[in-house]
Every structure is written in C-alpha cells, then in structure tokens.
Amino acid sequence: MRVGVLCSGGDSPGMNAAIRGVVLRGVDVHGFEMVGFIDGWRGFHEGDTITLDRPAVRGISPLGGVMLGTSRVPPFEGRTVDEIDLEPFRAQMERFGLDGFALIGGNGTQTVAHLLSQSGINVVGLPKTIDNDLGGTDYTFGFDTAVSIASEAIDRLRTTGESHRRCMVLEVMGRDAGWIALHAGMAGGAQVMLIPEFPESLDQVCEWVRSVHHRGRSSLVVVAEGFVLADDGQAVTHDGFDALGRPRLGGVAEVLAPLIEEHTGIETRATVLGHVQRGGSPTAFDRVLATRTGIAAADAILRGEWDTMAGLRGDRIEMVPLADAVASLKQVPEERYVDARLNFG
Ligand code: F6P
C-alpha cells in the first residue's frame, strides 16, 4: 500500500503529531510506503515530495507549524463535480503509485476529500483547525492550543486593563464559529463574548461594559473575527481575499473599541491576537489527540475504510463518514451561548 500524506488550509498546532502518528502506525506497523507532499496540493501538482518514514518524523510532535508545509492551493480546477476534470489528478496519482491519501485539513479540505472519494479516489481525513468548526468530531486538533494562547492573552490584558480602569477588547480568530472566543472567554472570565453565530447590538455591548464599570471593574470583551454587529450586519474585512476567494477577515476589535469608548465614555483599547494563536508548540492535549487521530487513520486505511474521517467522539476516536463531517459547519449551539450570556456584563 502506498499512501500520500498532504496538509491543506491554514496550519493548526498538532499537525506534526498527526503526521508522526499516521506514519509510525502506517509504515512501522502496517508496512505502508508513505509519501508526503510539500505545501499541500502544490507539491502534488509539481511533484514536490518527501519520503515519510520513521527518521523523517523523529521528534516532530512538540513542534509548531507543519513539517510538510500547507497551502490553500486547490487540488483541481472547478468547484462542482460536473466542472471537475479528474484525469490530470489520476495521472499524478499513477505517477506517484498512490493507492490513497491521508488528508489533514479543516472544512474545505474534508469537503474536497469527500468529493474525491465520491469520484472513486481513496481518501481518509484527519480533522484539524483551530476554529473547531468541523462536524463529525467533538474537537479538532489545534483548538486547545489556540484557546490556551487566547486565555493567556486575556489574563495579561486583564491586569493592564484593571490598572488603568479601561475596557479591553481582544479579537480572536473564528471565521464562522465562535468556539475560541467562547472557550477562551470562559477560561479567562471575560465579561462579554461576541461570536459570529449570535449578533448583538452596539447598545447591548455598551450596556454590558457600563455595568461592569459601575461595579468598579474593568471589562474584558472577547470578540471573534467573524462577529457582526446586529445594527450593521457585515463582518469586518481587510482588503483582498484568501487563496480560496474568501474575504480576509480581521479588525473587528479595532472597529468596536472606539465605538464603545464613544458611547460609554470609558477608555477602551483593542488587541488583535491574529496568527499568534496558530503558532508555536501544541498543547499536550492537541499532541495526543493528533497522534491518536493519525493512528486511527492508518488503521482505517489498512481496513480500506475510505471516505471517512478520524473523529473524536467522547473519549474514543471513531471513523465517521466524511459526508457527515462536512454536512454542516459545527457552530456554537444556542444553549451554550445563552448559558454564557446570562453572566455577561
Ligand atoms: O484556519 C482558519 C482560520 O484560523 C480562520 O479563523 C481565519 O479567518 C483564517 O484561518 C486566517 O488564515 P490566513 O490568514 O492564514 O489566511
């Protein structure tokens, strides 16, 4: 069995541990040959590869980033099954003698993985994304690390904010889902958490900030980059688009902070955490989750359980159909938000 390993989308802490997991199990235990593609589908198109064996993955679990590189280069032209010409794709697979792929990625990547599977190409998915917005799994690896970093940022902002009696607004990632904001906010005791799933009005946000101030405290507002003000209805974007044509999000904290200051009279500062959340060494939780995911993926490949993804279900790693994993985004459910919102302000 010859298996291609490839990462696609934004990087996520734990990807190296996942590669190590799938390679150690695949090569050493099941006797696979494994080839890694550099920078995702770019390496596949251009034949930029490395052999993945035990020495290649030595000591990589604690490392941030991803040793293979990743990109948002698409695997083929076209977005729908009818538009896609898979002949060049199959020719490349033959060139590398591949029986199938282990694809490490988030929503977009696993959607492609399912599309490929439907066309008869063997794929098993490994779920990564700091946003934790992929279905079919309780948690994606990378999320725990991002939450830890964001929580630490909240702790630090809190002490400087309290010293100056300021309102501090922290922007975290989360394009379509507010998991990082909700969990980091909860861990850090933030008084307001604003997430894409549930727009709030500026008046409401200011009321919460004022009530914290009247209690003699400084407020900490965590806002996910995809949050939209109910009065406005538009996410804040930078100029330009990413490689998949999606608007680049970011800057909502810098929009909110002056508005809060203007409406409440409370001095307010904005911090955009940005890619710090994705960088550096993964937490032990992410390393273990990613390693177990890799092991389960290699076992599934051996059994020929294609068109599946290694998801965390409770305490077990289970192979879930890719169709289920990508059926809908995993957003923060209303009850989780309502629970947290009861204590805002
Ligand atoms: O991986 C998803 C994500 O973390 C989103 O929350 C964010 O919008 C995006 O990555 C930013 O990624 P980049 O700047 O690398 O395109």
pLDDT at residue 112 tops 80: yes
Nearest partner of 136 among 277, 307, 313, judged by Cα: 313
Question: Residues 6 or more apart from 40 whose CB is under 8 A from it?
Answer: 6, 7, 8, 9, 68, 69, 70, 71, 72, 73
Cα–Cα distance for residue pair 213/205, rounded to 1 Å: 13
Question: Residues 6 or more apart from 253 whose CB is under 8 A from it?
Answer: 169, 170, 171, 223, 270, 271, 272
Question: How much is the pLDDT for 236?
Answer: 82
The residues lining ligand 1, judged by C-beta closer than 6 Å to any ligand atom, are 10, 129-131, 173-175, 225, 242, 249
Question: How much is the pLDDT for 216?
Answer: 94
Tens digit of pLDDT for each residue in 165-186? 999 999 999 999 999 999 999 9
Question: How much is the pLDDT for 85?
Answer: 85
C-alpha dist (Å) from residue 126 to 129, 141, 245, 269:
10, 9, 24, 38
Count of CA atoms in the C-beta half-sphere (13 A) of 256: 39
Nearest partner of 291 among 100, 66, 23, 37, judged by Cα: 23
**How far is the centre of ligand 1, averaged over its atoms, from the C-alpha of 278 (Å)?**
9
For 78, left (φ over 0), alpha (ψ -120 to 50), or beta?
left
Torsion of CA 173, 175, 179, 182, to 10 degrees: 70
Rounded average pLDDT over 136-143? 98
Task: Read off the pLDDT band of 267 (50, 70, 90).
Answer: very high
Rounded average pLDDT over 96-121? 96
Rounded average pLDDT over 281-309? 98
Question: Do the Cβ atoms of 102 and 109 come closer than 8 Å?
Answer: no
Query: Which of 69-73, 216-220, 230-234 shows the lowest mean pLDDT across its residues?
Result: 230-234
Question: How much is the pLDDT for 244?
Answer: 65
Question: How much is the pLDDT for 79?
Answer: 66
Q: Higher model confidence: residue 76 or residue 51?
A: 51
Which of 70, 71, 140, 173 has the most ligand 1 atoms within 8 A of CB, as the residue to mutate? 173
Q: Sheet containing 192-194: which strands, arranged edge to edge?
A: 192-194, 220-224, 167-172, 268-272
Structure tokens at 188: 């850090």
Q: Other CB atoms closer than 10 Å to residue 99's CB: what's the count?
A: 15
Locus of tokens 């394009």:
175
Which of 239, 278, 329 has the most ligand 1 atoms within 8 A of CB, as the residue to mutate? 278
Cα–Cα distance for residue pair 66/13, rounded to 1 Å: 8
Rounded average pLDDT over 135-161? 98
Question: How much is the pLDDT for 237?
Answer: 81
Rounded average pLDDT over 76-94? 84
pLDDT at residue 246 tops 70: yes
| Domains along the sequence of the chain with CATH | 2-141+282-325 (3.40.50.450), 144-278 (3.40.50.460)
Tens digit of pLDDT for each residue in 2-42? 999 999 999 999 999 999 999 999 999 999 999 999 999 99
131 is an active site residue:
yes
| Helix residue ranges per DSSP H, the chain | 15-23, 41-46, 87-96, 107-118, 143-164, 179-188, 202-214, 252-264, 284-303, 322-325, 334-341
Torsion of CA 321, 26, 72, 236, to 10 degrees: 60
**Residue 222 bridge partners (DSSP):** 170, 193
Question: Do the Cβ atoms of 175 and 197 come closer than 8 Å?
Answer: no
Question: How much is the pLDDT for 130?
Answer: 98
Question: How much is the pLDDT for 81?
Answer: 66
* 11, 39, 131, 299: the active-site residue: 131
- Report the chain's C-alpha Rg in angstroms: 21
Mean pLDDT of the chain: 95
Question: Residues 6 or more apart from 87 whose CB is under 8 A from it?
Answer: none
Task: Read off the pLDDT band of 232 (50, 70, 90).
Answer: confident
The alpha carbon of residue 235 and the mean position of all alpha carbons in its chain are separated, in whole angstroms, by 18
